[in-house]
Structure 1
Amino acid sequence: MIGKLKGTVDEVGEDHCILDVHGVGYVAFCPARTLVGLNAGEAAVLHIETYVREDMIRLYGFSSTLEREWFRLLQNVQGVGAKVALSVLSTLAPAELANAVALRDIAMVSRAPGVGRKVAERIVTELKGKAPALAGEAAATIGFAQELGAGVAPAPAADAVSALTNLGYSRDIAASAVAAAMKAAGEDADSAKLIRLGLKELAR
C-alpha cells in the first residue's frame, strides 16, 4: 500500500500527474487544486490513497493529508465515489468545504461539477459532525459556523452575520469575519460592535 510519494513531476495532465520516483513513473489522479501547484521538472510530495481492485490499481494524490482525509470521508456519503469526491475537492479547499458543511451551505457544495442538489444535501447532512476535525487552520471558526447552521448561534452574532450578508458578502465569509470579531470583542459584544469589527476583518 502506497501512502506517500516524493519525486520529480514528469507530466501534469487534465486530471492526473506522473511523478518520477527513482526512475519509476507513478500516475496519480488529483484534484485540480493539487495539480495547479505542480510543475513539470520540479520536486513534489503527494499524499496517496491507493485503490486496489481485481482489474486495476489506481493512485489518488493530494497536496496534504487533510485533503486526503476529506477524499476518504466524502466517499462515505451515498452517491459519492472517487470521481465526485475529486470534483468537490477541485472546487473547494478543505477549510471551505468544512465551512460549507458546518453552515449547511448546499449551494456552495453543489458548485462542484457533477454534484447535484440531492448529493450536496447528503454531504452537508451526513458530514456535519466531522467538519471541525477536518477544517485545518479554520477549525476555530467552524464551531460558530455549525451553531449558525443549526440556528442556535447567539442572537447578536447571528444578526451581525445577517447584516454582512445583506451587504453582499457570502455567508461563509461573513461567518468567518464575525467569528474573528467575537474572538476580539468577546461573546457578550452586541451586534453593532460585531458588525464594525467584522467589516474591519473583511477590509484586511
Structure 2
Amino acid sequence: MIAKLRGLLDSFGADHAVIDVGGVGYLVSASTRTLSGLGAIGDEVVLHTEMQVSDDAIRLVGFATAEERDWFRLLTSVQGVGSRVALAILSALTGDELHRAIASGDKAMVARSQGVGPKLAQRIVNELKDKTGGIVLGGGGTVPGLAPGGFSADAVSALQNLGFRPAEASAAVAKAEAELGPDATLDALVRTALKKAAR
C-alpha cells in the first residue's frame, strides 16, 4: 500500500502527474485543484495517495491534503461514484464547499461537477449526510483571504510559477478578484493580477 509520495515533479497532464521518486516515475491521477498547486517541473512535491486495485489495473490517486484524500474515500463509498467522478467533484468543490452542500442537502451544488447528474448528486448528499462529521474543515485547498472555489487558487499558483512569492501572488489575485468579481475567468484573473503585482 502506497500512502504518500515525496519526489520531484517530472511531468503532468490534464488529469495526472508523474512523480520521480528515486528514479522511479509514479503516474498519479489527481484533481485539477491538486495539480494546479504542484508547482513547476523539477520542484519537490509531497502527495497523500490512495492505491486502487481492480481486476485489470492498479491506479494511484494523489491529493494535496489528507482532508482531500478523506473526501475521496467517502465519495467513492457511494454507489455509482468511481475515482473519476470523485476527482471531478474534488476539482469543482473545496472540502468546505462539499461539506456545506451535503449538510444543507444542496444537490445542485454537487451536480456542478462534471459527470454528476441530479440523481447521483442526490444520492451523494443522502448517503454522506451522516458520515461527514469526521472530516476536519478549514483546509479545503483555498488560499487565505480569497473566496473558496472559482479560479483564485489556480491564479495564485500560476503567479507563483512565474516567480512571485506566495504572499505577493495571493494579494495580487485578491485585488484582481475584487475588481473583476467572482465570475472572472482564470485568464482574466491572471492578467489582472499580473498588472496589480507589477505596480
- TM-score, length-scaled by structure 1: 0.65
1:5, 1:47 within 8 Å by CA — same for their partners in 2?
yes
1:102 maps to: 103
Unaligned runs of 5+ in 1: 139-204
Deviation at 1:135, TM superposition (A): 4.3
Measure the CA separation in 1 of the matches of 2:88 and 2:136. 18
Q: How many Å separate the matches in 1 of 2:81 and 2:136?
A: 20
Contact 1:30–1:86 (Cα < 8 Å) also in 2: yes
Distance 2:119 2:54 in 1: 29
Structure 2 distance, partners of 1:69, 1:10, is 26
Q: Please state how far the C-alpha of 1:130 moved relative to its aligned partner.
A: 2.1
Contact 1:104–1:124 (8 Å) recurs in 2? yes
CA distance in 2, matches of 1:107, 1:131: 18
Tell me the equivalent position of 2:26.
26
Runs of at least 5 residues in structure 2 that lack an aligned partner in the other structure = 140-199
**Alignment match, 1:93:** 94
Distance of 1:51 and 1:30 partners within structure 2 = 13
Quote the Cα distance in structure 1 between the aligned partners of 2:92 and 2:138: 18
Inter-partner Cα distance in structure 2 for 1:43 and 1:73: 28
**TM-score, normalised on structure 2?**
0.67
AA of the residue aligned to 2:12: V
Number of equivalences = 139
Measured in 2, the distance between the counterparts of 1:114 and 1:52 equals 22
In the alignment, what sits opposite 1:119? 120
Structure 1 consecutive aligned stretches of length 4 or more whose deviation exceeds 6 Å: none
Q: How does 1:30-49 map to 2 (within 5 A)?
A: 30-38=30-38, 39-49=40-50
Output the CA distance in 2 between the equivalents of 1:42 and 1:110. Answer: 34
Q: Matched residue of 2:138: which SS? A: helix
Correspondence for 1:13: 13
Please tell me whether residue 131 in structure 1 is matched to residue 132 in structure 2.
yes
- Which protein has the bigger helix share? 1
Report the more deviating stretch, 46-55 or 86-95. 46-55
Q: Partners of 1:17 and 1:8 in 2: how far apart?
A: 10
Q: Which has the higher contact order (CA 8 A, sep 6+)?
A: 2
Larger radius of gyration: 1
How far the C-alpha of 1:45 sits from its partner, in A, is 0.4
